[in-house]
Structure 1
Amino acid sequence: YALDQGGDGKMKKKIKGILSGLLVITLLLVGCGNQEEMQTPEEYIDENLMEISLSDSWTEGTLGNIEDYQVFLSGEAHGIEEDYEAEKRLIEYLHTYEGVRYLICELSVSEGIILEKYIQTGEEELLTGFMDSIRGTQGCNQGHYQFLQWLCQYNLSLPEEERLHMFGLDVEFQQDMTIKALQMLDTKTKPENLPDGALKKAVQAVRDGSSQWYELLQTAAKEEPEETEAYYGENWKWAEQILKNQETTLRFVKEGGDAESQLRDDNMAENFWFVYDQFPEEKFFGQFGSYHTYLEYTASAYGVEQGHQPFGYLLDQEDPSLEGKVCSILLYHVSDTIEWGEVNRHIEGLKDIKLENRTMLLSLNEKGSPFVKEEIWQEEEQELPVCDYIQKIIFLPRMTKSPVYGE
């Protein structure tokens, strides 16, 4: 009987082994059956390239796979009419279908404060004052002015609890706007009632528009920190952020003021985290100069130094809270031969794309996409998939320079 039991035991073990083996094979076969079939670039583009309108609102699903993202960045060429129209459609779409309510901008912290008040109130003098301040820059054009008017009208048409909010992240380019923002943050009516000291001097300097405002407010913050914070109340965090931003601005100017400097991207990222820490559960959208929106360093016509870390990279990879949650949308100007050659050099799969002079959108991160893992962004320094850099491309057949504001 004992021998029989042993035989039965061995037989049971054999059967168990066979069944286990069959189970493993079955699971492997099922797994293979569920594996996503990878398409060729030609097949994928043929299936996913779609025509879009810049004049009409987009329907749900137009941007494709975006559900896991918290920050959306679109990369523009400054001062181009079609880019302003694309920005309108993106804001509408992301607000309507993704609940994006926080706009981040390639403007100074101070300009953001002023324009935030404009889009909440519709006070036209705030907008015209801003446009007058930026005369001589790429942003001083009719398209920018009309875009901001549209943004204000769109915002005021929304229920108050659904309205958009606006934040500037860049250095303090326009000092008159810096002083204007600080004056707006000072809500007290009688600063002359302050006791003599550093704070009173600083407040008066800001109110007078004195060029010494920075040194005096910095001194007040150091020598009378409690009184200074109490004076500004809830607005102090913004006044303090302007102070920090001004310090970076002075460094930026001292280093030569290169538009594509690493200092600017670093500073925009720091200012973004200041905003993000106040609204960590919210979603954000911003349109910046194209290079700032890449999620990896790339050699480009912008002339950045090797290893330059764009703003998009700093958000996506420098902090785990946003890792993999930043979506980069490239506005790609087909008629710009330099840009066309530049992007085609990096994305080999686009070389045979047929656009037929239409505004088109290609979502690169859909099911079966070869751009997620297989198609490499052609770069000498590193080999990474295209979707490590950008996730969407909007092809713009025309590139219309917007006329100068007020002319």
Structure 2
Amino acid sequence: MHINKRVKLAVIAMILVISIGTLFYKVSSKPITEEKWLKENSTSINLKNDDDFSGFELLKDDLDKHDVFFTGEMHGVGINDELHFKFLKYFVKKAKVKNFLIEHSPCEGYFLNKYIQTGNIEFLNKFSRNVNCSKEQYEKWKGIYKFNSILNKKDKIQVIGIDISDSDETYYYFLSSILDKYKIPKEISKDIQSFKNLKSKMQNSSYEQMANLVGDYKKSVENNSDLYKNFLNKDFKIFEYVLDNFYYCTKWNNITLKSEEFFKYREEKMYDNLKKIYSNLPKGKYYGHFGNDHILQKGNNLAAFINENNKLKNKVLSIRTLYENSFSLYFCKGEYIPVDLPKLNAKLTALLNPLNNSNQVLFKITGEKSPFSKIKDSKYFQLDMKEDKKPLEKYCVKDYSQYFLLIRKAKPVTPMK
């Protein structure tokens, strides 16, 4: 009798264990909603306190896993420079970043690097004149100089321009300023004079003609590389790097504006520039702040190309920036034009608004059980009011970027007078 009772109790206990286990499994395996995930994986960011990185702790588990960090923006928004500076300081302090990539040409990168290393304001002024710098951007670079000046020598950052976009005049004057520092060898005097003659041809030459003229000089330098190395000495590397990009820029200008090839060519050349930099510098971590399109990790984008590199495979982290009720200034044909930034799509607005009322919120969309690992829709974060049917994509939402930053009520940049 006692044995039967024990057996019954054991069976009941076993049934209870199995039932509880099954219930627990069902509860634990239940998909997490997008709203619940974003609420639990978001944090406000404090831009005012230089030493307050509490909101950035959401990133801490990803710092050791990645070697290249990107933040994105839509250009012309005043708060972008505050965000840029804050993220730079965080990645320098917490991830030991030393290489600072910028969406500017090697010429501008040279000026800015010289400025933050020396404090010579003339280098910053050269940059600001060339790029129609905003007040926010100008003040940001002054802050970066101060920040860099108090870092230990081994921790100091260097600025690296990897974009090809710049004016012919900027490229020309930069290269000329290097040539003018040295006595020109007779063997290449005619070639250098032909380069100097570009000054008078710039205004009246087509993009194709400029590409041919700069390409001819580039070939001359390649054919006489030993002479140029001896002639330019320590300046040869920067001269060669800038000349290559002058040529890339003239080629790029000759491609149909806003075509797929136009965008892809620029991305490929930025990636080529980074590969050259990466192979010539000691191993270290990189941080870059670029337009949103450049930092997406799928498609013909800079970050996507980097993420496919054998040495940097799955070592790229991207944070795209979204804006709500915000405004920008777009510089076009010599003047600033006010622009209302596109609103978030209706579904995303309804999802985000109840979660956090801060004006700067960081969201993580990767991680175990993230619902964004199953949503295959590249237009999920599209800044567009159109309610078009969204196509099923090859990649999940989280494959494009691991984080996004929501900015609310941002004002446009302030032009320099």
Q: Scaled by the length of structure 1, what TM-score is found?
A: 0.77
Shift of residue 235 of structure 1? 3.1
Query: What's the counterpart of residue 151 of structure 2?
Result: 158
Is residue 293–residue 328 contact of structure 1 (8 Å, CA) maintained in 2?
yes
What is the CA deviation profile of residues 129-169 of structure 1, one whole-angstrom value per residue up to 9, with x for unaligned ones? 2211223xxxx211111111111111112122211111111
Where structure 1 has 5 or more consecutive residues not aligned to the other structure, the ranges are 1-28, 298-308
Q: Percent identity?
A: 19
Is residue 68–residue 287 contact of structure 2 (8 Å, CA) maintained in 1?
yes
Query: What's the counterpart of residue 47 of structure 1?
Result: 40
Query: What's the counterpart of residue 341 of structure 1?
Result: 344
Shift of residue 269 of structure 1? 1.0
Query: What's the counterpart of residue 312 of structure 1?
Result: 303
Query: What's the counterpart of residue 57 of structure 2?
Result: 61
Label 1:269 to 1:37 Cα distance change in 2 as closer, same or farther (>3 A): farther
Is residue 122–residue 152 contact of structure 1 (8 Å, CA) maintained in 2?
yes
Label 1:350 to 1:207 Cα distance change in 2 as closer, same or farther (>3 A): farther
How far apart, CA to CA, are the structure 1 residues paired with 2:177 and 2:285? 27
Query: What's the counterpart of residue 91 of structure 1?
Result: 88
Where structure 2 has 5 or more consecutive residues not aligned to the other structure, the ranges are 1-21, 203-212, 327-339, 381-389
RMSD: 3.2
What is the CA deviation profile of residues 201-228 of structure 1, one whole-angstrom value per residue up to 9, with x for unaligned ones? 5289669977699467535414422111
Q: How many residue pairs end up in the alignment?
A: 353
Letter in 2 for 1:236: F
Moved more, 389-398 or 377-386: 377-386
Shift of residue 184 of structure 1? 6.0
Is residue 70–residue 287 contact of structure 2 (8 Å, CA) maintained in 1?
yes
Is residue 328–residue 390 contact of structure 1 (8 Å, CA) maintained in 2?
yes
Shift of residue 257 of structure 1? 4.6
How far apart, CA to CA, are the structure 2 residues paired with 1:207 and 1:149? 36
1:149 aligns with 2:142: yes
Letter in 1 for 2:291: G
**Of 378, 393, 396, which residue of structure 1 is paired with 2:404?**
393
Shift of residue 274 of structure 1? 1.1
1:330 aligns with 2:324: no
1:278 aligns with 2:270: no
Letter in 1 for 2:170: M
1:167 aligns with 2:160: yes
Is residue 51–residue 360 contact of structure 1 (8 Å, CA) maintained in 2?
yes
Shift of residue 264 of structure 1? 1.1
Look up the SS of the partner of 1:102 in the other structure. Answer: strand
Query: What's the counterpart of residue 365 of structure 2?
Result: 364
Label 1:36 to 1:170 Cα distance change in 2 as closer, same or farther (>3 A): farther
How far apart, CA to CA, are the structure 2 residues paired with 1:211 and 1:70? 43
Look up the SS of the partner of 2:61 in the other structure. Answer: coil
1:122 aligns with 2:119: yes
Shift of residue 197 of structure 1? 2.5
Query: What's the counterpart of residue 17 of structure 1?
Result: none
Query: What's the counterpart of residue 106 of structure 1?
Result: 103
Shift of residue 384 of structure 1? 2.2
What is the CA deviation profile of residues 174-214 of structure 1, one whole-angstrom value per residue up to 9, with x for unaligned ones? 2343245435655x85515x3x2225752896699776994
Shift of residue 237 of structure 1? 2.6
How far apart, CA to CA, are the structure 2 residues paired with 1:202 and 1:36? 70
